[in-house]
Amino acid sequence: MKLNGTMSNTQDSKQYAEDMGDAHVGSSLETPLRLDAFALDNELKIELIEKHFREIMNVLGLDLTDDSLKGTPHRVAKMYVEEIFSGLNPDNKPKIALFENKYQYNQMLVERDITLYSNCEHHFVPIVGKAHVAYISNGHVIGLSKINRIVEYFAKRPQVQERLTKQISAELKRVLQTEDVAVVIDAHHMCVSMRGVEDHSSSTITADYSGKFLEEATRTEFLKYLELSGK
């Protein structure tokens, strides 16, 4: 009975994990990280990931003596640590400098169509889309490229789109010292198009509005700039 109970619990746990992934449910606003997440340096992380990915390829039956494949474990490990998941490391957080709004520009500033590449934390396949960001200055501004950098930093980690939207918004509010921030993300999820339902045409839109963007007139103006109004 104990064995059957253990097997049942394991099956329930696996089913719960499957349901979580297919529902694209996130567990928290913060990216789930262990307390010792940065105890290993990048070089050792690459070494360990390379070892484990080589084993994954072996289990799949791939011939790692083939010239095309033998370097793949190292390439994947280096890509994970230094590129597509580099946003996990707080050392890579962009340094942002505020500048006085000397132009006295008091309308919304919109940065739209910011290219976004992330990865679904449920299946580790790409999320590809665009982020649209706006803010109204409270006396300070930041360089336009820094908005792109903030989006890139939070995108380069295993993600859920809803969390990504909130994280970008929270960081912009913190940096700009204003609540008047809006973030919209429109993205395609490869976990929807490559597997499961295999829907190749749908996209997911998420939004976070704060401060003046909670007012209908301000929000409508922002969406008109994005040509999303009425969709």
Q: Are 178 and 138 in contact (CB under 8 A)?
A: yes
Q: Which region, left, alpha or beta, applies to residue 122 given φ > 0 means left and ψ of -120 to 50 means alpha?
A: alpha
Task: State residue 17's pLDDT score.
Answer: 53
**Packing angle of the helix pair 144-155, 161-176 (nearest 10 deg):** 140
Catalytic residue among 50, 159, 167, 189: 189
Q: Is 123 a catalytic residue?
A: yes
Residue 1 has pLDDT above 60, yes or no: no
Q: Is 122 a catalytic residue?
A: yes
Q: Is 104 a catalytic residue?
A: no
pLDDT digits (tens, 9 = 90+) for 67-124: 999 999 999 999 999 999 999 999 999 999 999 988 889 999 999 999 999 999 999 9
Length of the chain in terms of residues written: 231
Domains observed in the chain: 40-84 (1.10.286.10), 99-226 (3.30.1130.10)
Residue 99 three-state SS? strand
pLDDT digits (tens, 9 = 90+) for 143-190: 999 999 999 999 999 999 999 999 999 999 999 999 999 999 999 998
**Lateral strand order in the sheet of 181-189:** 158-159, 108-120, 126-136, 181-189, 204-209
Q: Is 161 a catalytic residue?
A: yes
Average pLDDT on 214-224 reads 97
Catalytic residue among 50, 152, 159, 161: 161
Q: What pTM did the predictor assign?
A: 0.86
